[in-house]
Amino acid sequence: MNQPTPPVPRAEWKSRFGFVLAAAGSAVGLGNIWKFPYITGENGGGLFVLIYLACILLIGLPIMIAEIMIGRAGQRQPIGAFEAIHEKKNAWSGIGWMGVVAGFIILSFYIVVAGWAMDYTLKSVVNFTKPIEATAAAEADSFIASASKDEIKAFLVETKVAHELRPKQSLFESQLTKQESNSYDRFAAAIEAAEDKQEARRRLLTDEDLKRDVRKVEEINKKVAKAKFEISNQVERSVNVLTERQLLAEAKTAKRRALIFDKMATAFINTATNGWQSLMWAALFMMVTIGVVAGGVAAGIERACRILMPTLFALICTMVLYGAFQPGFAEAISFVFSPDPSKLKASGVLEALGHAFFTLSLGMGAMMTYGSYQSSKEALLQESLMITFLDTLIALLACMMIFPITFSYGQEPTAGPGLVFMSMPLAFAEIGAGGMLLSILFFGLLFFAALTSAMSLLEVVASYLIDQKNWTRPSAALATGLLTLAVAVPAAFSSDADSVLANWKGDYGMDFFDTMDHLASNWMLPLGGLFIAVYAGWVMPRRVQEAEVKDMPGWAFHTWLWLVRIVAPALVIIVLLQKVGVFDIDEIVAGFR
Ligand code: PHE
């Protein structure tokens, strides 16, 4: 058979430490800094974090070992690696092809978000929060000057009640299954549309199933209303005892923050809905990425990570330190670290599992590709442990940097991409001069984290042309980079009102951008991970495998084998079955309660 000959000598990392840093650079990215804090927020904190850690240990780490092992053994990127190990063409290289496709899909939205991070870094340099803060302060002043005392009081009460009610409300609502809320929504809409509402209600409620769902939702609604009543009383009492000075001061701060937040939100929406602008930044970001990847494995990627990773780490520590002196720090720590089972839905467990793949860059061959640039046969376990540890550490630190600020400024921990682009500048605006510095640090950090991950995504795609088609590295990086940019066009324009994709969202609730994220993170990565685990556990020749684990303790090897053979595949299959709707975990768990 005509084996493609890899260009000799094959690129290699300069040192083991360099490899670990580059792989950690791939793992640590937007997934850690914006996605993890926000899904932790949505899933109620503590317990979700614990389950995520279990997923990392039981599924992430074993698959990480498997990917690096396959890459090292094959000395090729994912499409060629399986062929090289078996010395003949085989269907497993399909994993590699799927990885290449996933790489394009992930990059297409990843570079758009990374572009926004660049945009915000530059905006921070020109201190964009300052004029926003100034206008908001002026508007708040004029509100206080023109409104009557009762109006001011009503405003303060309303703001405080809304803030205190939100966590309670989401706690109550988390007791409902998706099906229950859906059927209630349909019921409510039908009543709304009917002429004789009483009659319509009676007629619809003859259906026993519907009746049960409606009862349950109405009970929850009652509880929410009761909580609101109690909170309102309490808040009103506390506002009534304020002196006039205190009242005005508190109302002014609340008004100013609300205004700043609105303006930040508008600024972000303006950024995100401007397709051409998003594309321009994404293109700029892609150029930087192409530049590094074209520079080579050791001279480009490794060198960049050697500088960027420690910088990133130092920046995060600075921000955490800042957070530690904020009033919301204690609340943030208990939110992230104390498990509260009542706040977690079973489907949150599945989300934790999916995120474990994304955050560790698993399931699409990135770790395989990086592993293939290592000729060493040692320290597989130590390397994997180190990469996994660094990624997890940074995800947790990111929570400890973001939540103290979110809580201190009365924001909710559940704002998605907005958590980073809207809530954080709120704090920066309030801090004043030092805020500008923090803002530059923060968005710069987001940019660096995204860069070291995007490099690995592009490397997977480019290395195919280099390894299998004998392209030179710079032309491979440029060609795949430009192709990625073309794929990113729809993502950049996905929320631009003038684009053809503006109506993509429709009833289905996800715009084109979210769809790409969902497709790659929730489908392709777990599926890829499943195949990789099965391959490493059952198919990979023992002889090849053993060569890679000579220095691994026997018990560790056997635990690993057991995890990739049974545990990881079984858990991934459960997630995928839940996703295709074969069953709904929340329903099943609710059934047992
Ligand atoms: N792990 C990266 C992050 O957390 C994303 C990524 C996924 C990178 C898959 C490479 C491959 O942002």
Give pLDDT tens digits for 230-267. Answer: 999 999 999 999 999 999 999 998 899 888 888 888 88
Residue 277: CB partners within 8 Å, gap ≥ 6? Answer: 119, 271
* CB within 8 Å of 191: residues ≥ 6 apart: 197, 200, 201, 204
312 neighbors 444 (Cβ within 8 angstroms): no
The atom number, within ligand 1, closest to the CA of 525 reads: 9
Q: What's the 269 CA to ligand 1 centre distance in angstroms?
A: 25
pLDDT per residue as tens digits for the range 546-569: 999 999 999 999 999 999 999 999
Task: Decide which of 415 and 292 is more confident.
Answer: 292
Residue 100 pLDDT greater than 50, yes or no? yes
Percentage of the chain beyond pLDDT 90 is 52
- What is the SS3 assignment for 465? helix
Query: Tokens 């954080």 appear where?
Result: 424
Decide which of 162 and 453 is more confident. 453
Question: Cβ(516) to ligand 1 under 6 A?
Answer: no
Q: Ligand 1 in contact with 455 (CB < 6 A)? A: no
Helical segments of 177-207, H only: 178-193, 197-204
DSSP 472: -
Length of the chain: 593
Return the residue whose CA atom lies nearest to atom 8 of ligand 1.
361
pLDDT at 386: 96
Pick the residue with more confidence: 423 or 487? Answer: 487
> Is residue 256 classed as helix, strand or coil in its secondary structure?
helix
Rounded Cα–Cα distance for residues 431 and 436 (Å): 8
Ligand 1 near 31 CB (within 6 A): yes
- Using the mean position of ligand 1's atoms as its centre, give its distance from the Cα of residue 31 in Å: 6
Task: Assess contact for 310 and 24: CB atoms under 8 A.
Answer: no
With a cut of 90, say whether residue 354 has pLDDT above it. no
Average pLDDT over every residue of 195-210: 90
At 18 the three-state DSSP class reads helix
If you ran DSSP here, which 8-state letter would residue 503 be given? G
The lowest-confidence range among 52-61, 296-305, 474-483 is 296-305
Q: What is the pLDDT of residue 504?
A: 62
Please give the structure tokens belonging to residue 12.
Answer: 């290699």
**pLDDT at residue 55 is higher than 60:** yes
Q: Which atom of ligand 1 is nearest to the CA of 457?
A: 10
Cβ of 366 less than 6 Å from ligand 1? yes
State how far the Cα of 489 lies from the Cα of 477, in Å rounded to an integer. 18
What is the pLDDT, as a whole number, of residue 1? 47
Average of per-residue pLDDT values in the chain:
88
Rounded Cα gap, residues 576 and 554, in angstroms: 32
**453 Cα: distance to centroid of ligand 1 (angstroms):** 6
Top pLDDT among 287 and 194 is at 287
Any ligand 1 atom below 6 A from CB of 361:
yes
Q: Is 521 in the pocket of ligand 1 (CB under 6 A)?
A: no
Question: Which band of pLDDT confidence, cut at 50, 70 and 90, is reported for residue 515?
Answer: confident
Span 116-175, pLDDT tens digits: 999 999 999 988 888 888 999 999 999 999 999 999 999 999 988 987 887 778 778 777
Mean pLDDT over residues 307-312, rounded? Answer: 89
To test the ligand 1 pocket, which listed residue (104, 289, 358, 394) has its Cβ within 8 A of the most ligand atoms?
A: 358
Is residue 423 lining ligand 1, measured as CB closer than 6 Å? no
Task: Give the pLDDT confidence score for residue 46 in this predicted structure.
Answer: 84
Q: What are phi and psi of 386, to 5 degrees?
A: -65, -45
Confidence of residue 591 (pLDDT cuts 50, 70, 90): low
Q: Does 452 contact ligand 1 (Cβ within 6 A)?
A: no
Kindly report the pTM of this predicted structure.
0.86
Average pLDDT (481-506) is 79
Task: With beta carbons less than 8 A apart as the criterion, state whether 551 and 382 touch.
Answer: no
CB 516 within 8 A of CB 109: yes
As a whole number of Å, the CA-based R_g of the chain is 26
CA distances from 297 to 102, 450, 579 (A): 21, 18, 37
CA of 300 to the centre of ligand 1 (A): 19
Task: Tell the residue nearest (CA) to atom 6 of ligand 1.
Answer: 361
Q: Mean per-residue pLDDT for 201-214?
A: 90
Distance CA 76, CA 99 (A): 14
Instruction: Provide the terminal-to-terminal Cα distance of the chain, rounded to the nearest Å.
Output: 60
**Alpha carbon of 258 to ligand 1 centroid (Å):** 34
pLDDT in tens, 389-415: 999 999 999 989 888 887 777 777 666
The atom number, within ligand 1, closest to the CA of 453 reads: 8
Mean pLDDT lowest for which of 348-352, 438-442, 525-529?
Answer: 348-352
Atom of ligand 1 nearest to the CA of 363: 9
Tell the burial category of 150 from Cβ atoms under 10 Å away from its Cβ (0-12, 13-18, 19+): exposed
**Tokens at 356, concatenated:** 């474990």
Poorest-confidence range of 54-58, 454-458, 511-515?
Answer: 511-515
